[in-house]
Amino acid sequence: MQSSKTGYGQVSDQPRPPKKNKRIALLSASAVILVVIVIAVVVGVSHNHHSKGSSDGPSMSVKAIQAICQPTDYKEACESSLTAVAGSNTTDPKDLVKLSFKVALDRIRDAANHSSVLQKLKQDPWTVQALENCRELMDYAIDDLKGSIEKLGGFDLTKLDRLMEDLSVWLSASITYQETCLDGFENTTGDAEESMRKAMKTGMELSSNTLAIVRGLSDILGDLKIPFLNRRRLLSDEEEEEEEEEGDGEFPSWVSMGRRRLLVAPTTKPDVVVAKDGSGRFKTINEALGVIPKNGNRTFVVYIKAGVYKEYVEIKRSMTNVMFVGDGPTKTKITGNKNFIDGTPTFKTATVAVVGDGFIAKNIGFENSAGPSKHQAVALRVQSDMSVFHNCQIDGYQDTLYAHTNRQFYRDCLVSGTIDFIFGNSPVIFQNCRIVARKPLENQQNTITAQGRKDKREPTALILHNCTIVADKDYYPSRKRLPTYLGRPWKEYSRTFVMQSQIDDLVRPEGWQPWFGDFALNTCFYAEFDNRGPGAGVTGG
């Protein structure tokens, strides 16, 4: 970062048993009923807002499009783009929602192609890197939209709330990737930034519109109060008992029982062992990545024995359900020192980048050792949906942990740094974690968080629950002279919660700091609740 899902669904390691035929018939009938009801609601809303039954008024398709686009911020772009592809007979809200995803996807593809064209021109090194990152980020945005369209194809009404939640999380990620692309141009020269901003304008508007449509449709369905939508899904008695056990408050509900057992087990049987001393199959982590199955549904365990691994690791998008297990957060460490000052864009400074969904890390350390004078230097960047970090240590200075996108959970971890050292736009929870402020440069002051929520409908927030916020021993004598703040608003709708946590006296009484001027002060949302310790007072804010 440049400086001067929270409801959760559930995943399972094993497929559910087949439903009974009677239940399938009931669900199929319910699906038909719901589609009819939603069409009636959509067209009825449109009818009330427009020509009230005149035969010369808009067609049913136009009415449906106008109603679907009603909650959006960019209505003209929404209506014109859908009208161009929907045809005169499309009134099914499901089809219109899918079309809204597809038109956004097409515009993002256009922007990605534009970045390829720009890259062929003579550019300064920062611009070249920004364009390269844009192409990668656009691919992530496109993949998330594709996944959303595929998920819409099933439209299982017993899991409708989970569907809406998933779509909202993935759309938020797609929006964030596009915003990250533009962030990368902050230090470039020439007109590449303005050119990319223009090329991306429609795609970003349509992505925002699609998020608004999904949230709006969810509100409509909630208002209808249809009985079988009041629960996440129809369950047998056995499934109800399992779900009650899973919802025990220890983990988000999307962490399945199988994954929880892996997290709490004293030992885990590995699929592959990495050891610097040669006692494992591989001596480096990157060698081990080569044997990970692509798009695996089963958790693939990589045991990394004690040692300091000086390498840059990327868990690619195709590496799903991977688990890293170390010998302890200070015994097994992955370290690097890429940084902004030496010429690497923030997005690419990460020692470890986790993209593949369902990632788990346990008993392992991640470090960027560049130091405070090198400014932005990420130790860990995470985009993995439904990822979990347990008993891990994440050390750096500025921008230590980039909780970039998608649902993440950190439990019993330690995170250290100086400026904005927990940042990003994920629905992310830190529970029972130790947050350690380190000594910044003499002309700096610490900010623990910088949350990057760009759109007011994004289901994202940074949540610190039952954490401990303390000063590093080297920083402790300077904590009054070089102050620490809980956070500052990186984007317009920045949202952060600090709850039931121990806050030591390093945090200033004001608690929070502006980004610059009055930027986002009227739109950000920061909350402190039931905290304790000498830095927990809120009277100074």
Q: pLDDT truncated to tens, each residue of the chain (541 aa)?
A: 544 333 333 333 433 344 444 444 434 444 444 444 454 454 444 444 444 444 455 677 888 899 889 999 999 999 999 999 987 777 777 788 889 999 999 999 999 999 988 888 878 899 999 999 999 999 999 999 999 988 887 666 566 778 889 999 999 999 999 999 999 998 888 888 999 999 999 999 999 999 999 988 777 666 655 554 444 343 334 444 444 444 445 788 888 888 898 888 888 899 999 999 999 999 999 999 999 999 999 999 999 999 999 999 999 999 999 999 999 999 999 999 999 999 999 999 999 999 999 999 999 999 999 999 999 999 999 999 999 999 999 999 999 999 999 999 999 999 999 999 999 999 999 999 999 999 999 999 999 999 999 999 999 999 999 999 999 999 999 999 999 999 999 999 999 999 999 999 999 999 999 999 999 999 999 999 999 999 998 876 6
Confidence (pLDDT) at 243: 45
pLDDT of residue 13: 42
Task: Point out the residues that are catalytic.
Answer: 420
pLDDT value at residue 425: 98
State both tokens at 219: 């509100």
What distances in angstroms separate CA 237 from CA 16, 20, 240, 404, one per listed residue?
Answer: 14, 14, 5, 38
Structure tokens at 160: 């409708």
Close Cβ partners of 337 (under 8 Å, ≥ 6 residues apart): 368, 369, 370, 374, 377
**Strand ranges (E), 263-354:** 272-274, 300-304, 307-310, 313-315, 322-325, 332-336, 352-354
Q: How far apart are CA 354 and CA 388, in angstroms?
A: 11
- pLDDT attached to residue 163: 85
Alpha-carbon gap, residue 517 to 502, rounded angstroms: 30
Q: What H or E segment, with its residue span, contains residue 183?
A: helix 160-183
Nearest to 317 by CA among 207, 432, 177: 177
Structure confidence at residue 344 (pLDDT): 96
CB-based burial of residue 474 (10 Å sphere; 0-12 exposed, 13-18 middle, 19+ buried)?
Answer: exposed
Length of the chain: 541
| E strands present in 491-530 | 495-499, 502-503, 525-529
